[in-house]
Copies of this chain bind each other. A is one copy, B any other.
């Protein structure tokens, strides 16, 4: 695998996002019974040039065959392996408020092999109680519980003003990655990866579609 130049080791969001989209597309193709797919077909679904698809997929080995395309099942397995989602991952939710409870109940995580095995909060009224079937631990127990439960990922669902301190705690406890829902930029030690969930960006995607549709409708009326 190509080394990143310039420290930080941060993988650009766009590439990772594209790999996940390739994976979704390959899953659809596999379910539909397709044996092979061309870079042009894959690109068309994601509005990327075939050259960009070949470049992206060439990053992890020789898969395509000229005139035949990519074999769907082996490519899907390869993308899963590259993404690292070919095994289960153990996660903790930090913050047992509204968002934390929503995450605990989110079915999509389990379907994709993510297991939420710990919940933390600092509110005495919930600590020690069960939320969605899981015991809520106090924040002070984070190191102990993260080690015992072999937690690898932390989902930060606390208010913006508390996010940095719990991120620091989670990093110190030994998690390797943080999914941050708080709209703040976290500073954690180099070895811990952070992905921010930007709900504003998702809403922006929707607005674009609505806006484009309205513009087209006006053009059609005017024409």
A83-B204, A83-B211, A176-B210 as given contacts; A108 in contact with B14, CB under 8 Å: no
| Cβ of A168 under 8 Å from chain B | no
How many residues of chain A get a CB closer than 8 Å to chain B's CBs? Answer: 79
Contact segment of A31-39, A93-101, A141-149: A93-101
Chain B residue nearest to A155 (CB atoms) is: B203
Q: In the complex, what distance in Å separates the CA atom of A17 from the CA atom of B107? A: 24
Contact partner of A47 among B15, B48, B177, CB < 8 A? B15
| SS class, residues of chain A in contact with chain B | helix
| Cβ of A183 under 8 Å from chain B | yes
Residues of B within 8 A of A89 (CB): 203, 207
| Residue picked from A16, A49, A83, A209, most chain B C-beta under 10 Å | A209
Would A9 and B98 count as touching, CB distance under 8 A? no
| Cβ of A133 under 8 Å from chain B | no
Would A98 and B105 count as touching, CB distance under 8 A? yes
Q: In the complex, what distance in Å separates the CA atom of A23 from the CA atom of B198? A: 13
Within 8 A of B (CB), among A42-61: 45-49, 51-52, 55
Within 8 A of B (CB), among A174-223: 176-179, 183, 191, 193-195, 197-216
Contact partner of A195 among B12, B13, B206, B212, CB < 8 A? B206
Chain B residue nearest to A196 (CB atoms) is: B202
Contact partner of A49 among B10, B55, B83, CB < 8 A? B55
Question: Shortest beta-carbon distance, A200 to chain B, in Å?
Answer: 4
| Cβ of A21 under 8 Å from chain B | yes
Residues of B within 8 A of A103 (CB): 199
Contacts A10-B209, A16-B209 known; list 19 others, CB within 8 Å.
A1-B216, A11-B212, A15-B47, A17-B205, A48-B52, A84-B207, A84-B210, A89-B207, A99-B102, A103-B199, A109-B200, A111-B200, A112-B200, A153-B203, A155-B203, A177-B209, A193-B209, A195-B202, A197-B202
Show 13 A/B contacts (Cβ-Cβ < 8 Å), sorted by A: A12-B45, A14-B21, A49-B52, A85-B208, A89-B203, A91-B203, A98-B101, A98-B102, A108-B198, A108-B200, A153-B206, A153-B207, A179-B202
